[in-house]
Structure formats: C-alpha cells, structure tokens
Amino acid sequence: MKFGYITAATGLLAIEKAQLREVGDYFDSFKEIDGQRLSSDQTDYPNPLFYFLITGGTENTILQILSNRSKILPGEPVYLIAHPGNNSLPACLEVLARLNQDGIPGKIFYLKNSDDAEGLRQIKNAQQDLEVLHALKKTRIGIVGTASDWLVASKPEDEVVKRVWGPEIVHIDLNELKKKMQTIKPESLLQYKSSLVKEAVEIREPSQTDIDEVVRVYIGLKQLVKELELESITVRCFDLVSEMKTTGCFGLAQLMDDGIVAGCEGDLNSTIGMLWAKKLVGKTPWMANPAQLDEQNNRLWLAHCTVPRSIVKTYSLRSHFESGLGVGIQGTFAYQPITLLRIGGKDLKKLWLAEGNIIQAGFEENLCRTQIEIELISGGSVKDLLQAPLGNHLVMVSGHHLEKFKSWREMMIL
C-alpha cells in the first residue's frame, strides 16, 4: 500500500525554487518506499498520511491541514518528517509540542539525509502501523447472540469499541444462524467434512452425525459473514450446545483458517485482541483460558476446545470438554516462542502483554482439549494475572512481538 505525504514550505518566492531543489532527493527516496506526494487539499486521502515540513514558518499551515484531516479521520496520530536544513526540525518540534498540548499523539521522523536508511525504515514501519489503525476502523465484527453470561468483565459497549479500537459491532440473533443451518444440503458438507476427518490423527468420541452438525455450523457462520460483509465474528457458542446439542469449535477454527477472525463465547475483548494481532503481525492467533498457573516459575497452562488447524502440528477430534457433546479439536502445538495479550478495562484501554515460550503440550482429561504450558520470559507475569486480571481469556500469537504491540498501543489508543 502507498502512503501519502503533504509538504509545507514558506511562501517566499525568492527561495522557493532553491528549497525544492534541496529536498528533491527526499521526494525520490519517498517514492522508492511507495510514498506519494499530495497537495495540501488532499486531506481525504484514504491511506496513511505524513507531513513533510520543508521549512520553518509552516507551523500554522500544517495545523490547519491537520484540522481538516481530523474531520475525516479522527484519532489518527500525526507523523511529521523533518530534514536538517531550512528550520525544518524546529518547525516540527513546535507543531508536535502544540499537538501534545491538545492531547493529540504524534511523532517526528528526522532524516539526516535523503539516503537515511534507518529513518526511511522507520517511516515505512509507521506506515504499516497506520494501515492497521485504518483497517480496524473499517472492520465490522458480528456478534451472534450476546456474550456468555459468565463473561462479566468482557461486555464492552458498542460505542466504546468503535471509539477506542475502531470496529463497528453488528448484532445477529442466534436464530439467524439456526435458519441458515436448516437450509444447508447434505452434499454441501462433504468437502469440509472430508478434510476435517482425513487430516485428524484420531477420532475418539464424535460420531458422523456430530461431525456433520459442526460442519453445518461452519457453513452457516460463513454465510452470515458473507451476507453481512463481516471481517470478524464471535458466537455465544454454548447456546449451540444447550439448544442444538452441537458445538462451534470446528466452525470458529475453520473461519480462522479462512482468514476470518472468529472468537468464542461472544467475547468481544478477545475477538478484538485477535483481530489486532492478526493485522499487526500477520499471524493466526489463538484464544484460550489460563487453566493453571505456577507463580514461582512464571508459567501457565492455556486450554481451549478449539484451535485453528493451520497453527498446530497435529490434531484429534474429541468431544467438547464441558458438555461431552459435538466436536472439540485437540491440537498439538510445536514448542516455539509466543506472545500473549489481553485487552480490557471498562474503556478497553488496558493491556496485558507478555512474551514466552511453549515448553510442553498437555493431554489431561479434566481440561479443555488443546493444552499447552508456557514459560513467560518478559513483559507481564503470572503474578499480574492473579492480582489484576483483565478477563478469563488470553490471546496467543507465534513469535516474540512485545515491543511492536506495545509501541502500537501507546501511539494509536488515546
């Protein structure tokens, strides 16, 4: 994706041409990293936008441009670019100081010269961060039913989600899913059923009817996603268990493998966390319960009855742990570095982050089916979870990304 940049220079005609000649090499460098020069009235540009202050004396000009931009994309942090000459840096310092006084986040990218590889890399990274913010603001998350009754700390207001993180919440009655499922023909199940069964290393409790029904749930959910133009969905899945004697475990896992972020139990906090992780680091996330904790060794066990099949080495088909019904997925993860996160608080601005490593897989019969032990090595600790938890689900993504998540959160969430 391209990014745009608007330039500002003094209006003194006697030196204007000399100024533009001096910064012409910067324009060439921006072009090489997909930068597109825009006029000052193109504040409706849909992609990330930067502001290149070529000279001093441009402070009020930039503030007016920023005011116009904020009417189109409120809450966007301001990224200023400075170079060594013509009082460019002093102008950027003055503008950012004013923005900070007004509670507007921003940052200055100081380029030592037009070939400043590190400075240009930082601009490109910032562009990607802004792309994530823009993408979240365009996202529609469907919630089928409501949050499960036990999620007493994970029921954010729609307005809070929209204002703080950007997505629009679309409410869907569970009966809409039931209607979809009733119209699905048996032959439509074969493709997905074949893959699910063929690739499993074991099928223990589920019957063929159980497998048919969970595939039916998946197809129904996918139809809702398409018709309502959703990028993400979360489901009050225990109502499927109690009312229809089936589970959403496969449906949600397969949606994740399709690239559609899907959360369990109507948990919007975790669904937003997974959506953020997927967009920011490009990895398929997993949400799970912290089932057991070891404060002394800073370790914890995560467990859940669903997991995207693409992120585990092998999987078995089991029953859903709590009910003994339907199909649960018991996946085995590779031992690997991971990052854990949880967003929460009444205003959704609190964040718990930790890096760690998967050190063991589990197969206990008294926990949800997919189980892993994680040793935390940096960031948040197990003690934090015992003293100030943000909820009963955590989001996991492969790789160590603590600083990337942290820096994005500090800049983008006001």
Rounded to two decimals, the pTM is: 0.93
Torsion angle of C-alpha atoms 379, 380, 383, 388, degrees rounded to 10: 150
- Listed as ranges, residues in the chain with pLDDT below 70 are 11-21
Which of helix, strand or coil describes residue 181?
helix
Distances from the Cα of 370 to the Cαs of 278, 283, 285, 309, in angstroms?
20, 19, 14, 11
Alpha helix ranges (H) inside 228-337? 238-244, 249-257, 268-281
DSSP 183-232: T--GGGGHHHHHHHHHT-SEE-S--HHHHHHHHHHHHHHHHHHHHTT-SE
Q: Which residues contact 392 (CB under 8 A, 6 or more apart)?
A: 150, 151, 153, 154, 289, 290
Q: Which residues contact 62 (CB under 8 A, 6 or more apart)?
A: 8, 51, 53, 80, 91, 95
**What tokens appear for 277 in the block?**
């992780």
Angle in degrees, 0-180, between the axes of helices 268-281 and 117-137, rounded to the nearest 10: 150
Strand order in the sheet with 168-172: 168-172, 140-144, 232-235, 261-263
In what helix (H) or strand (E) does residue 91 lie, and over which residues does it extend? Answer: helix 88-101
**What tokens appear for 51 in the block?**
């502001």
303-348 pLDDT per residue, tens: 999 999 999 999 999 999 989 999 999 999 999 999 999 999 999 9
Pairing between β-strand 337-344 and β-strand 328-332 as defined by DSSP bridges: unpaired
Which of helix, strand or coil describes residue 355?
strand
Which of helix, strand or coil describes residue 313?
coil
Lookup result for tokens 């199940």:
189
Domains of the chain: 3-137 (3.40.50.10940), 140-412 (3.40.275.10)
